[in-house]
């Protein structure tokens, strides 16, 4: 699909085809395509819990405003943003550093600089750690939706859920924030797609402050 078609045709759909599953292979392809998005220092502070089991999805639905799409979609993702994803002892921070050394993007001598830079950007406050985790994971989540659309699937992002209740129910450690849930599947063509929503235009988006 052309990029512009992917952008124009992606919608938050409410109805998923009950007869069309999402194969493991398709899901993996969507996730690994989305993982190409950029992230601060390439730290990639996102993770996903993949729910396919009906009973598990119902447990989530009961904590998500009882939105039927949570259980009707063949796959529902709990998107996780790791607030600790910049810290020195985090396993992907060291992996990231070693990978940068391999490609020549950094040298061993720059280790201290890399540590200090992360601390100065994210170490100052919980707000900055939350922003770090959620902004990067937001890019990833958007790319998941576009990668799904590109393969003919549809999605629905949701923040209508009880954050702390979902954290407890699914044993999600405290370092993760849950920016959104995402239903993934194939649109049920027997149902009507809601009319496209309005968007802010150029003049409404661009601002100046004097």
Ligand X SMILES: Cc1cc2nc3c(=O)[nH]c(=O)nc-3n(C[C@H](O)[C@H](O)[C@H](O)COP(=O)(O)O)c2cc1C
Closest CB 142 distance from ligand X, rounded Å: 8
**Long-range Cβ contacts of 4-9 (<8 Å, 24+ apart):** 6/146, 6/149, 6/150, 7/146, 9/149
Which residue's CB is nearer to ligand X, number 100 or number 151? 151
Which residue's CB is nearer to ligand X, number 148 or number 180? 180
**CB-CB contact of 137 with 80 (8 Å):** yes
**CB-CB contact of 114 with 95 (8 Å):** no
Which residue's CB is nearer to ligand X, number 189 or number 197? 197
User: Residue 183 and residue 145: Cα distance in Å, rounded?
Assistant: 10
Nearest to 88 by CA among 76, 100, 97: 97
Which residue's CB is nearer to ligand X, number 97 or number 161? 161
Closest CB 11 distance from ligand X, rounded Å: 4
Closest CB 102 distance from ligand X, rounded Å: 35
Which residue's CB is nearer to ligand X, number 41 or number 177? 177
The per-residue b/e assignment along 166-177, b for 16 or more CB within 10 angstroms, e otherwise, is bbeebebeebbb
User: Residue 180 and residue 198: Cα distance in Å, rounded?
Assistant: 22
Residues of this chain that interact with ligand X (CB under 6 A) are 11-12, 67, 157-160, 180, 197
Closest CB 78 distance from ligand X, rounded Å: 13
Which residues share a beta bridge with 2?
none
Closest CB 157 distance from ligand X, rounded Å: 4
The residue number whose beta carbon is nearest to ligand X equals 160
């Amino acid at each position: 699909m052309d990029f512009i078609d992917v952008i124009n045709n992606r919608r938050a759909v409410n109805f998923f085809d009950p007869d069309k599953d999402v194969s493991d292979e398709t899901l993996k392809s969507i996730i690994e395509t989305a993982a190409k998005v950029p992230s601060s220092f390439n730290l990639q502070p996102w993770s996903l819990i993949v729910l396919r089991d009906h009973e598990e999805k119902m447990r989530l639905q009961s904590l998500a405003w009882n939105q039927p799409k949570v259980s009707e979609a063949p796959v529902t993702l709990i998107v996780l943003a790791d607030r600790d994803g910049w810290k020195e002892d985090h396993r992907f921070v060291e992996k990231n550093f070693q990978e940068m050394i391999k490609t020549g993007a950094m040298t061993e001598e720059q280790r201290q600089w890399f540590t200090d830079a992360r601390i100065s950007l994210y170490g100052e406050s919980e707000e900055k750690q939350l922003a770090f985790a959620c902004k990067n994971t937001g890019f990833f989540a958007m790319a998941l939706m576009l990668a799904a659309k590109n393969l003919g699937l549809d999605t629905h992002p949701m923040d209508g859920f009880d954050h702390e209740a979902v954290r407890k129910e699914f044993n999600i450690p405290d370092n993760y924030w849950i920016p959104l849930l995402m239903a993934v599947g194939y649109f049920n063509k027997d149902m009507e797609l809601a009319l496209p929503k309005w968007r802010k235009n150029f003049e409404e988006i661009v601002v100046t402050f004097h």
